[in-house]
Structure 1
């Protein structure tokens, strides 16, 4: 449980910094089976777009939902939805997770999809 407490502490620190930036926040949640991404307004009051490996259109054509390829597809999907909503510049909130593996794949795919962070 100490690992999760440390992760949440890091996430809290990051979110405080992002709040001062005043841009939309791309937040990521990683579980053992799935990966989720949500795009919040700058004040955090509203979800602009979301994507996850639970959604049928994202899950189609994937071998599994807990690998780097699935995370990259979620990143491309959230980038497309964000651009459709008129959001181009975001702050990446990795929720205290280390920037490697699935988190890095999602971020790289979102950048390739047109998001700037």
Structure 2
């Protein structure tokens, strides 16, 4: 009997595979977007702590704000985790704003 995979189960499977490879290298910038706002946070997976978080209506605003806060915590090198979203629109704007703010991916 054939099994049918849903899109969400495939996304979760890919996320687990990717995060397990990247877990020990650097903190990761995780992005979540809703209809009203964009949320981003920098997470240290080794300690299990959120180092910095930011939210706002536009992606670029969130990226710049997050980069400012990360500088205060002396975080410069990160891994970008788009969280199953395609790399365009608000998600891309967060990445561009973070790069402009001085974070390196």
Give how far 1:44 is off. 5.0
- TM-score, normalization: structure 2? 0.85
Q: Give 5+ residue unaligned stretches, structure 2.
A: 1-5
- Runs (4 or more) in structure 1 with deviation over 6 Å come to none
SS at match of 2:87: coil
**What are the residue-to-residue correspondences of 1:36-47 with 2, within 5 Å?**
36-47=39-50
SS at match of 1:99: coil
Counterpart Cα distance in 1 of 2:104 and 2:15: 20
Counterpart Cα distance in 1 of 2:36 and 2:11: 19
Counterpart Cα distance in 2 of 1:42 and 1:104: 23
Count of residue pairs the alignment pairs up = 100
Q: Give 5+ residue unaligned stretches, structure 1.
A: 54-64
The residue that corresponds to 2:52 in the other structure is: 49
Per the alignment, do residues 5 and 31 of structure 1 end up closer, same or farther by CA in structure 2, a change over 3 Å counting?
A: farther
1:86 equivalent to 2:92? Answer: no
8 Å CA contact 1:9, 1:96 repeated in 2: no
Could you say which structure has the larger radius of gyration? 2
Structure with the bigger percentage of helix:
1
8 Å CA contact 1:72, 1:109 repeated in 2: yes
